[in-house]
Amino acid sequence: MGGACYKPPVAEMDLLSWMESRVRARTLPRHVAIIMDGNGRWAETRGRSRVEGHREGSRSVRSVTREARKIGLEALTLYAFSSQNWGRPDEEVGALMQLLAEYLDSERAEIMDNRIRLHTIGETGRLPGFVRERLESVRAASAGNDGMVLTLALSYGGQEEIVQAAQAAARVGPVEADALEAHLWTAGLPPLDLLVRTSGERRISNFLLWQAAYAEMVFVETLWPDFRETDLLGAIADFQQRERRFGLTAAQVTSG
């Protein structure tokens, strides 16, 4: 699945286009972020290695990115590797870095063809050289693209981000919310509207702590390797049913 040769059966294709037209008919979230969780469990229940779960998960990244671009999201942010994930066994960390490099090589053309701009957030200086070189190359090549911004959170931690932003803000003046926000790695991206987490876990795990202040949260049971186009559209449809109040009363929001 996910490759150029994948043709969904007719019924599945109908469901996909029906869901696309439904979410397009209402206001889309500008910025969707996803905690891509459950690769290990997906593999373990099949008697396969965790690394195979990550490999299948990278296929979901392709499908979901393509769909997000197709429906016209402005920004998609994917939590691919946390600051805390460095503590996993060396073999798993190494395999994840290898997969990331393979992903960047294989997706470069698709990113360019779809005018996607690749961005990263996190302490990317900690990534191995062979990953940093590829990231920098795709980032630079795609910098002028005017389509969706695809942000990969790599070696990312929300607390780490806030600490560095506070330190940077303090160097130039008083630490106020706007000043701090300007130094977050997400500066320049649209505000976060929707945060999705797969695999049934209901926690934020150090992702976009500041940015999630008024984001709508959708938690789904689906494991990340099983999360594909229709699952993204389902999460967006859920978001579109919500009333966002930002601290105001329902009456204020509906009259505004």
Supply the minimum distance, in Å, between the C-beta of residue 99 and ligand IPE. 9
* Contacts (CB under 6 A) with ligand IPE, residues 24-43: 35-41
For the question of residue 85 being annotated catalytic, the response is yes
C-beta of residue 192 within 8 angstroms of C-beta of residue 217: no
Catalytic residue chosen out of the listed positions 14, 37, 226, 238? 37
Supply the minimum distance, in Å, between the C-beta of residue 197 and ligand IPE. 8
Supply the minimum distance, in Å, between the C-beta of residue 146 and Mg ion. 34
Query: Of 35 and 116, which CB lies nearer to Mg ion in the complex structure?
Result: 35
Query: Of 19 and 122, which CB lies nearer to ligand IPE in the complex structure?
Result: 122
The interface partner of residue 36, options being ligand IPE, Mg ion, none and the CB cut-off 5 to 8 Å by kind, is ligand IPE
**Residue 99 binds ligand IPE, judged by CB under 6 A:** no
Helix spans in the chain (H): 10-24, 39-44, 50-71, 90-113, 129-142, 158-172, 177-182, 229-240, 250-255
Q: Which of 207, 217, 226, 221 is nearest to 244 (CA)?
A: 217
Q: In whole angstroms, what is the distance from residue 103 CA to residue 233 CA?
A: 23
Query: Of 171 and 202, which CB lies nearer to ligand IPE in the complex structure?
Result: 202
**Residue 59 binds ligand IPE, judged by CB under 6 A:** no
C-beta of residue 240 within 8 angstroms of C-beta of residue 220: no
> Rule CB under 5 A: which residues touch Mg ion?
37
CA distances from 191 to 10, 43, 154 (A): 37, 34, 20
The interface partner of residue 158, options being ligand IPE, Mg ion, none and the CB cut-off 5 to 8 Å by kind, is none
Assigned token pair, 170: 């303090």
Residue 64 has phi, psi (to 5 degrees) of: -70, -40
**Residue 80 binds ligand IPE, judged by CB under 6 A:** yes
**Residue 122 binds ligand IPE, judged by CB under 6 A:** no
Supply the minimum distance, in Å, between the C-beta of residue 151 and ligand IPE. 13
Supply the minimum distance, in Å, between the C-beta of residue 78 and ligand IPE. 8
Q: In whole angstroms, what is the distance from residue 198 CA to residue 111 CA?
A: 24
Give, rounded to a whole angstrom, the gap between the first and last alpha carbons of the chain.
Answer: 45
CA distances from 173 to 163, 178, 179 (A): 15, 11, 8
**Residue 186 binds ligand IPE, judged by CB under 6 A:** no
Query: Of 29 and 57, which CB lies nearer to ligand IPE in the complex structure?
Result: 57
Q: Which of 186, 193, 127, 143 is nearest to 161 (CA)?
A: 186
For the question of residue 193 being annotated catalytic, the response is no
- The residues carrying an active-site annotation are 37, 85
**Contact footprint for ligand IPE (CB under 6 A):** 35-41, 79-82, 85, 96, 199, 201, 203, 205, 224
